[in-house]
Amino acid sequence: ETGVTQTPRHLVMGMTNKKSLKCEQHLGHNAMYWYKQSAKKPLELMFVYSLEERVENNSVPSRFSPECPNSSHLFLHLHTLQPEDSALYLCASSQDQGNTEAFFGQGTRLTVV
Amino acid sequence: GQQLNQSPQSMFIQEGEDVSMNCTSSSIFNTWLWYKQDPGEGPVLLIALYKAGELTSNGRLTAQFGITRKDSFLNISASIPSDVGIYFCAGRRTGANSKLTFGKGITLSVRP
State pLDDT tens for residues A78-101.
999 999 999 999 999 999 877 778
CA distance B24 to chain A (A): 14
**Residue A84 contacts B, CB cutoff 8 Å:** no
Asked if pLDDT for residue B111 goes beyond 90, the answer is yes
Question: Hey, are the CB atoms on B33 and A98 less than 8 Å from each other?
Answer: no
Whether the per-residue pLDDT at B106 is higher than 90: the answer is: yes
B6 pLDDT tier (thresholds 50, 70, 90): very high
**pLDDT at position B93, please?**
84
Q: Is the pLDDT of residue A50 over 80?
A: yes
In this structure, are residues A25 and A38 in contact, taking their beta carbons and an 8 Å threshold? no
Pair A101, A2: CB distance under 8 Å: no
Q: How far apart are CA B69 and CA B74, in angstroms?
A: 15
pLDDT score of A26 more than 60: yes
Say what the pLDDT of residue B2 is. 61
Note whether B27 and B93 are within 8 A (CB): yes
Per-residue confidence (pLDDT) for residue A73, from 0 to 100: 97
What integer is the mean pLDDT of A69-85?
95
**CB contacts, 8 Å: A101 with chain B:** 33, 45, 48
Contacts of B42 in chain A (CB under 8 A): 2, 4, 6, 90, 92, 104-107
Measured distance CA(A31)–CA(B109) in Å, rounded: 34
Q: Which amino acid is at B19?
A: V
Asked if the C-beta of B32 comes within 8 angstroms of chain A's C-beta atoms, the answer is no
DSSP one-letter code for B34: E
Give all strands of the β-sheet with B71-76 in edge-to-edge order. B5-6, B19-24, B71-76, B61-65, B55-58
Cα distances (angstroms) measured from residue A65 to each of A21, A47, A60, A108, B49: 10, 9, 9, 16, 34
Interval B8-63: pLDDT, tens: 899 999 999 999 999 999 999 999 999 999 988 999 999 999 999 999 999 999 99
pLDDT at A1 over 80: no
